[in-house]
Amino acid sequence: MKELKFDTLVIGGGSAGMAAALEVSKRGFSVAVVERENSMGGILNQCIHNGFGLHHFNEELSGPAYAEKFIDMVESSNIKVFLDMTVMDMEETGDMKYVYGMSGKTGMIKFCVKTVIFANGCRERNRGSIGTPGTRPSGVFTAGLAQRLVNMEGYIPGKECVIVGSGDIGLIMARRMTWVGAKVKAVIEIQPYPAGLTRNIVQCLNDFNIPLYLSHVVGDIHGKDRVESIDVIPLKNGVEQKDKSFNIICDSLLLAVGLVPDNELAQKIGISINPETNGPIVDRQLMTGKNGIFACGNVLHVHDLVDFVTEESERCGKYAADYMDGKTFSDQYRTVPGQNIKYLVPNFYSPHRDNKFYLRTMIVKNRAELIVSVNGKEIFSKKLKHIQPSEMISFSILEDTVGAEIISECRNNTLEVKIV
């Protein structure tokens, strides 16, 4: 088995992995990136629509154009990239990590590194994840697979489509399928509110007169060889109203029913997982419970914009470099999601450092207020014009916002965030 030594191994060559790797490399450390596809860029390569880069590059780009900017920077750096390689296992001995990558081209390679950054993204939930009843005909796709078929492989999944889930990928595919000549009969959403960004509701559904059925579920899938129709059932207070169900004739069903961080390897090596995000539990430096192992991007928590993935991952790369420079912090305390908060990342904060937080709310509301408290004492608040679960919220607590007098009041020092 061939052994290679680097300071840092980044698992994943998408937007998160490239951004993190570049920051580590800028600090003078040797970096390797392992990517299981035959090119870098990750999911961006199949997202040919615009809307990327408005925050990070101050220009509107397609997914491939956004990825290309980072690919060019990686190729101009000293970063070593291993394509068509899958990480199979990881071991630790003292401060060293040994990561085993398998490729049909190189066979098994053992990477000997000081730090590892998980940036391997997420995967789609499928029909089995949501338990939709009915037969098992062809024509049932995840929305991401349908996107790849249309945008990269040149295939059209069907002529008459229904999309389940109003998340951004579902909305974007409603528009994309319309553009390629298919008839999108409906978008079905189990929640009483849309799951995607408002701009995508307008641009992908309203502009094409595609009906959106909120508080509805698919009750049954009909068809022997190919999908022929589906039953749709409205919900009232979460209860199915089967007497009001109706049938939609279609030949394909696209499922946009959520994403799950790809955290199996992290779990295998004993990293604790946050049950709300399904990503690793991390401290202020985005380091997991295992020293020298970090996580960022959609493997940590599912983001709404790639620009935010990049921003978080750049910080993760800087933190990994800090760790190798011996800059770690012992004064870290727990964070907890409070009222109306689904999750809060990171799971620890440092009172005497700058802290950047991301969260998602569980409610839809205009004129809300975000309140941060430590030991029950309010230290920060922020007015929010509009909040909804589909849109990630971020805020920063600057150095010394949590004064010594607050910390001294209680040994627990838990930071709580709520929205009212």
| Whole-angstrom distance, CA of residue 316 vs CA of residue 80 | 19
In this predicted model, what pLDDT tens digit does every residue of 24-57 receive, in sequence order? Answer: 999 999 999 999 999 999 999 999 998 899 999 9
Q: Which residues contact 21 (CB under 8 A, 6 or more apart)?
A: 8, 10, 31, 33, 74, 79, 117, 317
> What is the percent of the chain with per-residue pLDDT over 70, rounded to a whole number?
97
pLDDT of 403 reads 63
| Whole-angstrom distance, CA of residue 20 vs CA of residue 48 | 23
Angle made by CA atoms 148, 305, 380, in degrees to the nearest 5: 160
The DSSP annotation for 111-130 comes to EEESEEEE---EEE--HHHH
In this predicted model, what pLDDT tens digit does every residue of 307-345 receive, in sequence order? Answer: 999 999 999 999 999 999 998 777 888 999 999 999 999
Angle made by CA atoms 371, 375, 379, in degrees to the nearest 5: 40
Can you point out the beta strands (E) in 265-398?
Answer: 293-295, 333-337, 341-345, 348-349, 355-361, 365-374, 377-387, 393-397
How many CB atoms sit inside 10 A of residue 239's CB? 9
Asked if residue 199 has pLDDT above 90, the reply is no
| Whole-angstrom distance, CA of residue 265 vs CA of residue 344 | 23
pLDDT of 408 reads 61
The dihedral of CA 305, 185, 162, 241: what is its sign?
A: positive
In this predicted model, what pLDDT tens digit does every residue of 381-390 receive, in sequence order? Answer: 999 999 998 8
| Full set of structural domains in the chain with CATH | 2-123+260-328 (3.50.50.60), 126-257 (3.50.50.60), 335-419 (2.60.40)
SS (H, E, C) 25-49: HHCCCCEEEECCCCCCCHHHHHCCC
Checking phi first, is residue 94 left (phi over 0); if not, alpha (psi -120 to 50) or beta? left
At 393, which amino acid appears? I
Nearest partner of 265 among 116, 123, 92, 87, judged by Cα? 87
Token pair, residue 201, equals 């509701």
Query: What is the residue whose two structure tokens read 């009222």?
Result: 339
| Whole-angstrom distance, CA of residue 100 vs CA of residue 85 | 10
Average predicted confidence (pLDDT) for the chain: 93
How many CB atoms sit inside 10 A of residue 181's CB? 8
Rounded to 10°, the helix 15-26/63-75 angle is: 30
pLDDT of 407 reads 63
In this predicted model, what pLDDT tens digit does every residue of 99-141 receive, in sequence order? Answer: 999 999 889 999 999 999 999 999 998 887 777 877 889 999 9
* Backbone phi, psi, residue 329, to 5°: -125, 125
In this predicted model, what pLDDT tens digit does every residue of 11-27 receive, in sequence order? Answer: 999 999 999 999 999 99
Indicate the pLDDT class of residue 375, thresholds 50, 70 and 90: confident
Q: Bridge-partner residues for 163, per DSSP?
A: 187, 254
Kind plus residue range of the DSSP H or E element containing 3: strand 2-5
**pTM for the whole structure:** 0.92
| Whole-angstrom distance, CA of residue 215 vs CA of residue 217 | 7
| Whole-angstrom distance, CA of residue 88 vs CA of residue 102 | 7
| Whole-angstrom distance, CA of residue 213 vs CA of residue 79 | 48
Q: Which range is least confidently modeled, 10-19, 101-110, 219-228, 350-359?
A: 350-359
Indicate the pLDDT class of residue 178, thresholds 50, 70 and 90: very high
pLDDT of 411 reads 60
Asked if residue 406 has pLDDT above 70, the reply is no
Asked if residue 145 has pLDDT above 90, the reply is yes
Query: What is the residue whose two structure tokens read 């380091």?
Result: 287
